[in-house]
Amino acid sequence: MKSIDPTARDCYLLEIEGVELGPVIPGQFVHLRVLPATDPFLRRPFSVHSYDTGNRLLSLLFQERGKATGILKELKPGTAIDVMGPLGNGFTLNGVARALLVGGGIGIAPLYYLGRRLREAGVETRMLAGGATSLDLPAENYKPHPEVQILWSTEDGSRGYRGTVVAMLKEHLLKNPREETADMIYSCGPTAMLSEVVKTASNHRIPVEVSLEAVFACGVGACLGCVHPVNAREGTRYLRVCKEGPVFNGKEVIFDA
Ligand SMILES: Cc1cc2nc3c(=O)[nH]c(=O)nc-3n(C[C@H](O)[C@H](O)[C@H](O)COP(=O)(O)OP(=O)(O)OC[C@H]3O[C@@H](n4cnc5c(N)ncnc54)[C@H](O)[C@@H]3O)c2cc1C
Ligand code: FES
């Protein structure tokens, strides 16, 4: 581990050097064993926040939630971390000219790498990022790429738009015609938020991809502990978030199961 720095309330940027991941698609995750100890026994999944292939430098943005993340935030530079990945299916990058990224809370984590990669590929990219207060968001100048514009929202109005990121998205799409706004929406955040983002995207006839969260055990498709229902041609199917996901076509995901 190279460094760990606080970025917002209970949130940290962790940099791990010497990680050989090969090609990484934004939206893929790594499965971490925090310490060689058996407690916590299970690995924990974290989205790739950034990966520099040349320097083999992996960055993760995480929020302290329980045991593993509580241990992670106390780790000292030089500590070895066991990283497995990249795992799962990432976001679709091809065929997009104008992208809108919508992140709620720690859901912004994978959208930074996505934003950087889209912009590097010449895609016009804008990010809408929301939190409860400005204390829950990273610094305003912390950007995926200098040419990615970020519109911030906070529920108490302490930074940017006053309200939820979904309310900001709705206003944004009403004010800006589809052809000037986005031909793809990508989103990550709490499930209730993703459901609203998908409804909003559908109302504006914009394709949408979402990164779902689930509690993982194996993380590699073996235990079936992470399945989520989706609409398929043959009816409802239960897909593994760790294997077929975590990124899904938002319009196929069943949110009210
Ligand atoms: C594909 C994927 C990517 C993720 N990427 C990130 C990321 O980039 N940054 C980040 O901070 N977190 C991310 N998470 C969530 C992260 O894996 C959990 O916060 C972490 O496993 C919690 O471990 P813990 O031991 O600290 O908490 P635990 O002690 O295991 O749990 C503490 C509390 O959090 C709840 N919880 C644990 N895991 C989840 C989960 N996955 N979803 C909802 N509630 C949960 C538990 O039910 C419990 O109430 C991701 C999860 C998935 C599935
Ligand atoms: S966590 Fe085991 S199948 Fe997904």
Band of residue 187 on the pLDDT scale cut at 50, 70, 90 = very high
Q: Give the closest residue (by CA) to ligand 1 atom 17.
A: 45
- pLDDT of the residue at 178: 66
Which ligand is closest in space to the CA of residue 219? 2
Q: What is the pLDDT of residue 3?
A: 95
Looking at residue 246, what DSSP letter applies?
B
Tell me the average pLDDT across 196-218. 96
**Site to substitute for ligand 2 among 213, 218, 238, 244, most atoms within 8 A of C-beta:** 218
* Cα-to-centroid distance, 215 and ligand 1 (Å): 7
SS3 assignment, position 81: coil
Q: What pLDDT, in 10s, does the model give residues 84-112? A: 999 999 999 999 999 999 999 999 999 99
- Find out whether the beta carbon of 68 lies less than 6 Å from any atom of ligand 1: yes
Q: What per-residue confidence (pLDDT) applies to 64?
A: 97
Average pLDDT over residues 54-83: 94
Choose which CATH entry (3.30.1600.10, 3.40.640.10, 3.40.50.1950, 3.40.50.80) describes domain 98-211. Answer: 3.40.50.80
Give the pLDDT band of residue 42 (cuts 50, 70, 90).
confident
| pLDDT tens-digit readout, 133-170 | 999 999 999 999 999 999 999 999 999 999 999 999 99
Q: Is the CB of 135 under 6 A from ligand 1?
A: no
Q: How many CB atoms lie within 10 A of CB 122?
A: 8
For 66, the token pair is 């329980």
| pTM greater than 0.85 (yes/no) | yes
Give the number of whichever ligand sits closest to the CA of residue 44.
1
pLDDT of residue 39: 64
Looking at the predicted structure, is the pLDDT value of residue 38 above 70? no
* Section 53-66 average pLDDT: 96
Q: Which atom of ligand 1 is nearest to the CA of 64?
A: 26
Residues with CB under 6 A from ligand 2: 216-219, 221-226, 240, 242
> Which ligand 2 atom is nearest residue 216's CA?
1
Q: Which ligand 2 atom sits nearest the alpha carbon of residue 226?
A: 4
Residue 256 has pLDDT above 90, yes or no: no
What pLDDT is attached to residue 251? 96
**β-bridge pairing 98-104 and 184-188:** parallel
**Range list of β-strands (E), the chain:** 3-8, 11-16, 29-33, 44-47, 50-52, 57-63, 82-87, 98-104, 124-131, 149-154, 161-162, 184-188, 208-211, 227-232, 235-240, 247-249
C-alpha angle with apex 231: 226 to 233, nearest 5 degrees? 125
Q: Residue 177: pLDDT band by 50, 70, 90 thresholds?
A: confident
Residue type, 251: K
- The CATH superfamily holding the domain 212-257 is Dihydroorotate dehydrogenase, electron transfer subunit (2.10.240.10)
Tell how far the Cα of 212 is from the centroid of ligand 2, in angstroms: 13
Domain ranges of the chain: 3-87, 98-211, 212-257
Ligand 1 contact, 66 CB (< 6 A): yes
DSSP SS3 for 80: coil
- Ligand 2 center to 13 CA (angstroms): 26
Residue 209 has pLDDT above 70, yes or no: yes
8, pLDDT greater than 90: yes
Q: Which ligand is nearest to the CA of 246?
A: 1
Report the CATH number of the 3-87 domain. Answer: 2.40.30.10
Q: Is the predicted pLDDT of residue 237 greater than 80, yes or no?
A: yes
Q: Which of 188, 213, 248 to mutate to test the pocket of ligand 1 (most atoms within 8 A of CB)?
A: 213
Give the closest ligand to the alpha carbon of residue 215.
1
**DSSP H or E stretch at residue 120:** helix 109-120
**Calpha distance 100→96 (Å, rounded):** 10
